[in-house]
């Protein structure tokens, strides 16, 4: 049984294959955390306490049972003696915000309850077990139900909280985090993913400072700048060995992950909706559900933690027919044509790409309204027949006649002031009456909390999908939210707008998928600006970055792989010199880097040399050959990108096949490069593509000794297959 309860000690034991999470109910009915880490026997945990050392200046609860400030609190509350960062703060009708939740009851059951209107991991009764604990603040009548779901196959725990106003008075939620995790004393490093447009998800590891450390977004989206993820790594933890705890929030809006470490190194982590610009008014009987948070424990270092996230998110978060189906190999016209195209241009790209083996044409921005540039047209989701004579239906039919699929770009949440939609409905934007609106990429943001706005968008998109055969949509989002106010919300609910926006987005995505169940969605936000777990629930692949330079992509894809599976990392071969960096890199290197993702092309194939086209055919053959090991295999990061070199390998789950890619970023005279496989079975025998045969042990320990050509930015691949 993954979840056990001891009547004697009033203790809960949550077990995954290799980790345990333990807490108990104390004499004052506080939930007190005991342990999270490598698996331990339940019998040994009796009343084991993590209580911290320094009691000076702590206060005790009135029943004298607990000093919350020095007690590892399972779900920390504000204003009742816990002076550290708190997960919950509710302002009651009398204006006070002290909050004090005590245990009432619990239940344990197989399976995982679904969330009403938010994305979450899922699992069958065979795969998951759930603990639900009801806690209550006896003074205000607020209730918090804590949900913990344990996965039978992964060292992961999914958590969330539901707050219910069980009183007869109104109350206001001011902060409600999805999880609070107490990590015992230690020397911790924190890892996180930071970035910017075209430089997303760079991985940084540094010593965790004492005091409070925050990873946050208040942009209305998870954003390019701070992905909703951190990990805590023991100072000695490496890519392969040592304690690693991962914290990932399934949320696309304003998120916050905070740590607070005290003088003894004891550590609390809270993750959830950012309380800045957040509030939620609860009338009697109303409830509020937080987004879901996922924690992962691994004793196998950063790499082990990543592999758990990859499998969990690929198998138990991504959904729909495309989750594990082979994705169509696509060509996108954006970098090939930008706004400058007509139906013949697009058809010719499709035709020539199709002849080389490409399976889908994606028509990017510029096909609708007066969209000849980025200053007009957003919101007018009607085909521009001056550009595309005969409309989308005809173009789609012609592309299908080539044996290819057809995909289309949308940016539903946005509106240009120069659009018919804006002229008809200026009040549909997020805006503060009387305050001029800030502008980003010449566009405003639609108020996604409004049903009429969502209905309009659904009708436009669904109508296009019904009238032209379209298998794929790229869903873009090219600015963040400012002057976030809704014309429809009363003053006391205006601080709900950021979260209501996100709920509205989820509702529209869900509705579109329900109405078009075979549709493949690819998420996008000026590249990877909203690349978060929540979006993967709707779109199993996400445009990783607008930076398509293969060398820049090494950092971006390395960082992205810390949490997200390869099957989600959308990656294309683009033209050279690269449009973002002006760097020229060989076709082979561009393809070898793009292969560590969903793989596709983003260039004007009609302008390619015959030589490059031949190379493209070879690449497409390799894409098919390696698809399974890359998409369903386990990723081992061998050499992180360091300006000199970078290497990774995929190993199939049954360890019968592996593919290693090595990138020599900067060459040096007569220098050999060495790289060792990981993840193979040491006792199996493997042969590479040139016929060299070794045991897994030799490939992993003696490794490969390679002299690259005297040229920067070259790659080589080694493909191993088991010999029985």
Alpha-carbon distance of 79 to 95, in angstroms, equals: 13
CB of 381 to ligand GLA, least distance (A): 14
Task: List the beta strands (DSSP E) in 139-210.
Answer: 142-151, 156-165, 171-183, 188-194, 202-207
Nearer to ligand GLA, 155 or 364 (CB): 364
Question: In sequence order, what are the beta bridge partners of 472?
Answer: 407, 520
Structure tokens at 412: 């539903």
Stretch that binds ligand GLA, among 124-132, 420-428, 519-527, 604-612 (CB under 6 A): 519-527
* CA dihedral sign of residues 125, 126, 128, 130: positive
CB of 527 to ligand GLA, least distance (A): 5
Positions 90 through 149 that interact with ligand GLA (CB under 6 A): none
* Phi, psi of 466, deg, nearest 5: -80, -25
CB of 112 to ligand GLA, least distance (A): 34
Q: Which residue is nearest to ligand GLA (CB)?
A: 365
The yes or no reply on residue 412 touching ligand GLA (CB under 6 A) is no
Nearer to ligand GLA, 411 or 622 (CB): 411
Residue 476 catalytic?
yes
Positions 336 through 395 that interact with ligand GLA (CB under 6 A): 364-365
The yes or no reply on residue 498 touching ligand GLA (CB under 6 A) is no
376 contact partners, CB below 8 Å, separation of at least 6: 369, 370, 416, 418, 419, 442
CB of 365 to ligand GLA, least distance (A): 3
Residue 44 catalytic?
no
440, 378, 442, 385: which is closest to 410 by C-alpha?
378
155 contact partners, CB below 8 Å, separation of at least 6: 16, 17, 18, 19, 296, 297, 298, 308
Residue of the chain from 524, 551, 635, 663 that contacts ligand GLA (CB under 6 A): 524
Positions 454 through 493 that interact with ligand GLA (CB under 6 A): 476, 478
Stretch that binds ligand GLA, among 181-189, 237-245, 497-505, 522-530 (CB under 6 A): 522-530
605, 551, 602, 613: which is closest to 335 by C-alpha?
602
Residue tagged active-site, from 364, 546, 592, 612? 546
* Element containing residue 23 per DSSP (H, E): strand 19-25
The yes or no reply on residue 409 touching ligand GLA (CB under 6 A) is yes
Residue of the chain from 527, 565, 600, 679 that contacts ligand GLA (CB under 6 A): 527
Are β-strands 685-687 and 693-695 bridged in parallel, bridged antiparallel, or unpaired?
antiparallel
Stretch that binds ligand GLA, among 398-406, 521-529, 617-625, 686-694 (CB under 6 A): 521-529
Question: In sequence order, what are the beta bridge partners of 191?
Answer: 205, 231
Question: In sequence order, what are the beta bridge partners of 72?
Answer: none
Nearer to ligand GLA, 447 or 476 (CB): 476
3-class SS at 664?
Answer: strand
401, 399, 329: which is closest to 359 by C-alpha?
329
Structure tokens at 323: 């989750």
Residue tagged active-site, from 100, 364, 365, 476? 476
Nearer to ligand GLA, 71 or 478 (CB): 478
CB of 154 to ligand GLA, least distance (A): 32
Nearer to ligand GLA, 527 or 708 (CB): 527
Asked if 504 and 448 touch (Cβ cutoff 8 Å), the reply is: yes
Count of residues engaged in binding ligand GLA, rule: CB under 6 A: 11
616, 597, 598: which is closest to 606 by C-alpha?
616
Residue of the chain from 225, 334, 542, 716 that contacts ligand GLA (CB under 6 A): 334
Alpha-carbon distance of 639 to 554, in angstroms, equals: 11
Stretch that binds ligand GLA, among 52-60, 107-115, 505-513, 524-532 (CB under 6 A): 524-532
The yes or no reply on residue 223 touching ligand GLA (CB under 6 A) is no
Sole residue written with tokens 């600015």 = 479
* Phi, psi of 648, deg, nearest 5: -150, 160
Site string for ligand GLA, 546-585 (x = CB under 6 A): x---------------------------------------
Structure tokens at 639: 């050499």
174, 162, 160: which is closest to 286 by C-alpha?
162
Asked if 202 and 193 touch (Cβ cutoff 8 Å), the reply is: yes
> Looking at the annotation, which residues are catalytic?
476, 546
Q: Which residues bind ligand GLA (CB under 6 A)?
A: 334, 364-365, 409, 476, 478, 524, 526-527, 543, 546
């Amino acid at each position: 049984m993954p979840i056990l309860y001891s009547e004697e000690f009033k203790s809960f034991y949550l077990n995954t294959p290799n980790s345990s999470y333990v807490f108990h109910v104390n004499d004052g009915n506080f939930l007190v955390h005991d342990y999270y880490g490598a698996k331990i026997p339940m019998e040994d945990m009796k009343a084991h306490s993590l209580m911290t050392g320094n009691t000076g200046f702590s206060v005790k609860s009135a029943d004298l049972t607990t000093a919350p400030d020095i007690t590892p609190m399972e779900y920390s509350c504000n204003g009742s003696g816990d002076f550290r960062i708190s997960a919950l703060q509710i302002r009651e009708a009398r204006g006070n915000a002290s909050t004090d939740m005590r245990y009432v009851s619990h239940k344990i059951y197989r399976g995982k309850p679904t969330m009403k209107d938010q994305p979450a991991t899922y699992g069958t009764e065979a795969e998951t077990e759930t603990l639900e604990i009801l806690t209550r603040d006896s003074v205000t009548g607020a209730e918090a139900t804590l949900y913990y779901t344990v996965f039978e196959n992964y060292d992961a725990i999914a958590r969330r909280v539901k707050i219910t106003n069980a009183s007869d008075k109104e109350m206001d939620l001011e902060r409600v985090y999805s999880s609070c995790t107490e990590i015992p004393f230690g020397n911790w490093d924190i890892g996180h993913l930071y970035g910017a447009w075209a430089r997303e998800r760079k991985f940084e590891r540094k010593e965790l400072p004492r005091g409070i450390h925050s990873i946050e977004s208040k942009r209305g989206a998870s954003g390019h700048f701070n992905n909703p993820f951190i990990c805590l790594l023991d100072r000695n933890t490496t890519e392969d060995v040592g304690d690693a705890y991962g914290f990932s929030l399934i949320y696309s809006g304003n998120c916050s992950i905070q740590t607070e470490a005290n003088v003894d190194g004891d550590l609390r982590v809270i993750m959830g909706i950012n309380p800045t610009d957040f509030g939620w008014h609860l009338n009697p009987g109303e409830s509020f559900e937080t987004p879901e948070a996922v924690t992962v424990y691994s004793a196998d270092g950063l790499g082990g933690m990543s592999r758990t996230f990859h499998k969990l998110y690929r198998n138990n978060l991504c959904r729909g027919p495309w989750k594990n189906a082979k994705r169509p190999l696509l060509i996108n016209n954006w970098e090939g044509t930008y706004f400058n195209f007509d139906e013949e241009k697009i058809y010719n790209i499709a035709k020539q790409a199709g002849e080389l083996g490409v399976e889908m044409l994606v028509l990017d921005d510029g096909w609708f309204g007066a969209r000849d540039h980025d200053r007009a047209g957003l919101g007018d989701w009607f085909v521009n027949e001056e550009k595309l004579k005969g409309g989308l239906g005809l173009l789609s039919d012609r592309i299908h006649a080539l044996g290819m699929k057809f995909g289309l770009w949308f940016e539903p949440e946005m509106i240009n002031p120069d659009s018919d939609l804006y002229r008809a409905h200026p009040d549909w934007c997020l805006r503060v009456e009387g305050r001029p609106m800030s502008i980003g990429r010449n566009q405003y943001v639609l108020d996604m909390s409004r049903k009429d706005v969502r209905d309009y968008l659904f009708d436009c998109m669904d109508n296009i999908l019904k009238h032209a055969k379209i298998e794929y949509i790229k869903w873009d989002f090219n600015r963040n939210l400012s002057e976030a106010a809704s014309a429809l919300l009363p003053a006391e609910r205006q601080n709900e707008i950021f979260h209501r926006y996100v709920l509205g987005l989820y509702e529209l995505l869900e509705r579109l998928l329900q109405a078009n169940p075979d549709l493949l969605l690819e998420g996008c936000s000026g590249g990877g600006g909203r690349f978060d777990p929540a979006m993967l629930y709707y779109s199993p692949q996400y445009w990783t970055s607008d930076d398509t330079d293969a060398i820049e992509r090494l950092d971006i894809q390395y960082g992205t792989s810390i949490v997200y599976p390869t099957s989600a990392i959308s990656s294309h071969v683009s033209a050279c010199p690269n449009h973002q960096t002006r760097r020229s890199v060989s076709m082979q290197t561009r393809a070898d880097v793009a292969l560590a993702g969903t793989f596709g092309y983003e260039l004007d194939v009609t302008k390619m040399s015959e030589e490059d086209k031949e190379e493209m055919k070879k690449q497409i053959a390799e894409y098919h050959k390696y698809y399974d090991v890359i998409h369903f295999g386990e990723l081992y990061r061998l050499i992180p990108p360091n300006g000199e070199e970078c290497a990774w390998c995929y190993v199939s789950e049954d360890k019968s096949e592996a593919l290693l890619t090595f990138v020599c970023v900067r060459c040096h005279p007569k220098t050999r490069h060495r790289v060792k496989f990981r993840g193979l079975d040491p006792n199996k025998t493997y042969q590479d593509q040139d016929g060299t045969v070794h045991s897994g042990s030799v490939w992993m320990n003696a490794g490969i000794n390679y002299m690259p050509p005297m040229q920067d930015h070259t790659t080589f691949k080694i493909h191993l297959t088991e010999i029985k």
